[in-house]
Amino acid sequence: MLSRTADHLYWMSRYLERAENMARMIDAHHRLSLLPRAPEAVLQGWQATLVSLGMDDLFLEQHATLTPLAAFDFLAFDREHSGSILRCVRAARENARAVRGTITSDMWETLNTTYLESHAFNSSMPESGRGEFIEWVKYRAHLTRGVTSGTLLRDEALYFSRIGTFIERADNTTRLLEARWRDPGGRGERLLAEASEWAVLLRAMSAFEIYRRVCRDSVNPTRVTEMLLMRDDLPQGVHRCLDELQANLTAVANDQSAETLRRVGELHAQFHYGRFEELCAGGIPVFLDRFQAKLRDLGARISKDFLASSDGQ
């Protein structure tokens, strides 16, 4: 496969995954805003999310003050910066368009239709319609995944697409956790109130019922974090993402990728053989931070080994 084609497939999947996770992140706030919380707490929650996405400075450049609505619009609809959901949808479609000869017609039509439909959404929508937007993003992401898994040949095209999906998902899951841990109200000091707030996070990630089933416990921040990091049977879980990353990277291994495979193996082993308490001994936010740095390193190495236009000279 052409390196450039692999690059487009990888980014197509990353952007789609990012759009979905942004929607889930926003959804979490939307649900939080329905809880009886002080207005400052709500704003602090949004602030923490912007920080975890690395978009707090950009937001403040464009907006004098932080309001829930402004933050929603900024993350969902703003076409001026590349991090918004609408821009992610467009980027996914642009990447798909560049390789429409490699993906199936069904995939292309699904992504293209998603893009065409996205024009209907913007910040002038009534607030009541915004929940619908979030549901639409999730639905289109589900649909695209289904079409991909239902129609794409099991070859490199699928492997690179999945590499993009899972590196992005691992990144996003840790960001969601990080945002919650950075939220000043979220540090395990107000157990009852926090239980409902973390339950909201689980619901936004479609993981609430699973938590009940596998943890059989009341919702508490540490257990939620442990589940989302350590379980290899949870599709949103970081451990699961690393399973997939390792398997798909192994499937596309080439002459220069040995070190990248070693690093993904090492990272995976932490989750596979490590203990949550030991990994997070220095504090959960610190661990999440370090993990994200390792993911970035992995992303850069994947680009260099497989996606960059190297002629071997």
Partner 1 sequence: MRGRPYDEMLDAGGSPRPHCRHYCDWLNEQAPERLVQKRAEADALFHRLGITFAVYGENAGTERLIPFDIVPRILPAHEWKQLEAGIKQRVRALNAFVADIYHDQEILKAGIIPAEQILGNVQYRAEMRGITVPGGIYAHISGIDIVRDDDGRFCVLEDNLRVPSGVSYMLENRKMMMRLFPEFFARHAVEPVEHYPDVLLENLKSVAPAGATDPTVVLLTPGAYNSAYFEHAFLAQQMGIELVEGQDLFVRDDIVYMRTTRGPKRVDVVYRRIDDDFLDPQAFRADSTLGVPGLLKAYRAGHVTIANAIGTGVADDKSIYPYVPEMVRFYLSEEPLVANVQTWLLRRPEERAHVLDNLPDLVVKEVHGAGGYGMLIGPASTRAQIEDFRARIKAHPERYIAQPTLALSTSPTFVESGLAPRHIDLRPFVLSGREITVVPGGLTRVALRDGSLVVNSSQGGGTKDTWVLGA
In the complex, which residues of this chain contact partner 1 (CB under 8 A)?
A: 1-6, 94, 97-102, 105, 108-109, 112-113, 116, 156, 160, 252, 254-255, 306-307, 309-313
Q: How many CA atoms lie within 13 A of 62 on its CB side?
A: 14
25/158 with CB nearer partner 1: 158
67/104 with CB nearer partner 1: 104
For residue 35, the minimal CB distance to partner 1 (Å) is 41
For residue 2, the minimal CB distance to partner 1 (Å) is 5
For residue 74, the minimal CB distance to partner 1 (Å) is 24
144/225 with CB nearer partner 1: 144
Spatial distance between the Cα atoms of 299 and 285, rounded to a whole number of angstroms: 21
For residue 113, the minimal CB distance to partner 1 (Å) is 5
As to burial, measured by CB atoms within 10 angstroms (0-12 exposed, 13-18 middle, 19+ buried), residue 276 is middle
74/166 with CB nearer partner 1: 166
Phi and psi (nearest 5°) for 256?
Answer: -110, 10
56/156 with CB nearer partner 1: 156
Spatial distance between the Cα atoms of 142 and 68, rounded to a whole number of angstroms: 27
- If you count them, how many residues does the chain have? 313
For residue 11, the minimal CB distance to partner 1 (Å) is 13
Please give the full DSSP string across 166-228, using - where no structure is assigned: HHHHHHHHHHHHHHHHHSTT-SSSSHHHHHHHHHHHHHHTT-HHHHHHHH-S---HHHHHHHH
155/289 with CB nearer partner 1: 155
For residue 89, the minimal CB distance to partner 1 (Å) is 14
As to burial, measured by CB atoms within 10 angstroms (0-12 exposed, 13-18 middle, 19+ buried), residue 242 is buried
Q: Which residues contact 105 (CB under 8 A, 6 or more apart)?
A: none
CB atoms within 10 A of CB 149: 12
